[in-house]
Amino acid sequence: MTGKILVSACLMGHAVRYDGRAKPLHHPAIDRWREEGRLVTICPELSAGMVVPRPPAEIADGAGGEDVLAGTARVMEISGGDVTEAFRQAADNALALAEQTGCRYALLIDGSPSCGSGFIYDGTFSGGRHAGHGVTAALLKRAGIEVYSDREIDRLVERIAAAG
Ligand code: SF4
């Protein structure tokens, strides 16, 4: 078996989101991958010491995870707290775990300032969103890990079937 999958803990049913909820993804492939021992679960934000619940955070000024990694954008809480360093640490932790465990793929929930890979929110806390990556997704991608959002699980199924 080749290729483990790093997966967002909230997708696996863990109540780790900022609002204290999970967002479980129900798909036959999840059960199969679990039985095959392919899944490596992490909540990057909790791994960096964040707590549940916590204030919602967004990448400021319509920027993306790549900008945060480059030091040109910040991650801010709705309450005004600057959590940029914690989000960078979260991404580092996720990449370290992916590398230690041999993850070639990541299946991450979309929209999160850490895990988003299709879209993220624009920093205004008004529901505005744009195409982009969260900080963890950006770092994993930069390291060559193939990142899929929860909405792309069927594409990941096909990718893994093709890879064998
Ligand atoms: S950091 Fe990722 S795994 Fe953790 S709650 Fe946010 S979206 Fe879920």
What is this structure's pTM?
0.98
* 161 Cα–ligand 1 center, Å: 26
Closest CA to 138 of 164, 163, 118, 155: 118
- pLDDT recorded at residue 3: 87
Is the CB of residue 45 below 6 angstroms from any atom belonging to ligand 1? Answer: yes
Lowest mean pLDDT among 1-15, 93-107, 121-135: 1-15
Is the CB of residue 10 below 6 angstroms from any atom belonging to ligand 1? Answer: yes
Cα 49 → chain centroid: 16
Is the CB of residue 8 below 6 angstroms from any atom belonging to ligand 1? Answer: yes
- pLDDT recorded at residue 123: 98
- The 3-class SS string of 21-89 reads CCCCCCCHHHHHHHHCCCEEEECHHHHCCCCCCCCCEEEHHHCCHHHHHHCCCCEEECCCCECHHHHHH
Could you tell which of 114, 120, 133 is best to mutate to test the pocket of ligand 1, judged by most ligand atoms within 8 Å of the CB? 114
- pLDDT recorded at residue 44: 98
Let me know: does 113 contact 87? Beta carbons within 8 Å.
yes
Average confidence (pLDDT) over 29-58: 97
- pLDDT recorded at residue 20: 98
Is the CB of residue 140 below 6 angstroms from any atom belonging to ligand 1? Answer: no
- For 62-84, the pLDDT digits (tens) are 999 999 999 999 999 999 999 99
- The type of residue at 63 is A
- pLDDT recorded at residue 2: 65
**Distance between CA atoms of 102 and 144, rounded to whole angstroms?**
12
- pLDDT recorded at residue 99: 97
So where are the chain's domains?
4-131+155-163
Average confidence (pLDDT) over 2-28: 96
